[in-house]
Structure 1
């Protein structure tokens, strides 16, 4: 039925599809030809859903087969139900699964119009979601499940199972990377992950904004991060080099430095730390470095509601604490709130007592420390 060379090409195409899902369409076309069938479908099923990820047909078949299957007929697919409840790797024939149920809506309105009245079907992966393959054909004078076709399917099943397993693993890794990237994007500080060739592997929105501004830090044409001033750039490269050091007799390290900004704004605080191959979560198998960029100009204030919840402050005490954190003097605060200096000092002393601080400088440090963590939460 199929030559050794054709079989080898088909197996290669199956594994290529595991890495590049777009290749499943042409791969299933070759699979249909190898079995001399009418079409094929690669389907996944979860507890509440069933859908065809890829479905191919011979020229002339209804092009809406996949759409109608996913939108309606998939839930009526008694073939899928049988395959999903069978052991992984077991091959079923159309004689076994389709023909006993020819008086159903699924058969009459979907299988027969699409010439999917016979075929071979096999479950390729268990768990959630489940995955299975069907090679379909029109009903003929002889059953589709001949000895040659069953033998070919048995030979292909191990490769198909491995390809589906690989595809699922890659999809899981891609989802984790996407979720991590989204989480990193929530940080107000710039985060840059750098590879061993000093090129940027990932950066969040805050870091992109900083680099595009070219005010102290910038992106080089070849994709690496650089400081705009030569002295700061040398220090940045030195710390990144230390963080990426993979010599066996040395432990990678990083460091911190203040990066000045030509605009005259307060400089960035730049922290460089090494990441081992299994800690960055971004699908890289080599040593990487993380660059954390803190912009003091964007440091958010804690919300007064957060201060009230954390330290049981009154509305006025929280307001006084906020104004002190901004560097406002007690006299302007008293004038703004229309109270005496004695009242302001009393409120401030209550704030000191409740926050376990003793001086304004200590209070400011406490408020700045909680600001980045609780600013967004206070908006919920």
Structure 2
């Protein structure tokens, strides 16, 4: 295939990949073949070096084991981390150019990590986006190890704007889907705090009650766009909980959980008084399908203030949703922001029985879990009484 035909074929595949992520391996493999590279990788991260998305492909085949070893063992200690993050936009840079001569000889990251990636003689480019994201594209070593030919480098340069545009389209589509109808409806509810997080743990949106808590620093804050607990000991637990609920770069299934956070003492009638802690319920949202680092809702945090806890009528829930009395009671308490253990304690049921009830409710309602059920139950309270 002549270079122009290869270029046109790659362009077609890139735009297919922008609309359907399942086509990205085919586009990546075509790039490798046409450019004579062993593989290429797309990495999306933040200015601080945090990584949100990785696509490590070698002739279209993913190798997450190699990528994981590099990013867990070498990347945190890479002497040129800041230099990579601050690479000039859109300019091709050989991997060896990132290191000073002395570092090139002594760096474990370059001599071991980049060799592991098969990219010691690779070509890299970085693009900074207005929202603070960095798109990093690395083309691996040339096949045969004889160095790059000018025609190969020229083809990579021609492809740069098209690879970038494909990623941006994918990110835009992900952002457009970030607030699906069910999730957007939750933001309109003023009876329970709702915070939506993207895959990097950054706050995408919050409703009125949650914003009020964040603004006052009343147990929770959103410093630097990240959800944090005001008390350091609570924040460690919160970050661990969010880490389990957010998509894992290496494919581990996310899982939700609950916790409480202490609130600062409040001045009342000339003296300080304590208040009940906030209850947080964290749920993963959607699947881990690659969105090239685009900002979409990846986790939902329900924030329950005991002083503002909604009261849901289980009789109405049963009649409206076709649930048994026990199912309706469990659904109502869940929508009030109660955890499984709290529901068990209030009802006298075993926690295992509560979980089985909730799974049965999810099946009956055709929903995937708490994130979908809660707005449905809360919406009943806005309907006129019979």
Higher relative contact order (Cα pairs below 8 Å, separated by 6+ residues): 2
- Shorter chain as denominator, the TM-score bin is 0.3 to 0.5
Q: Normalising by structure 2, report the TM-score.
A: 0.44
- Bigger Rg, structure 1 or 2: 1
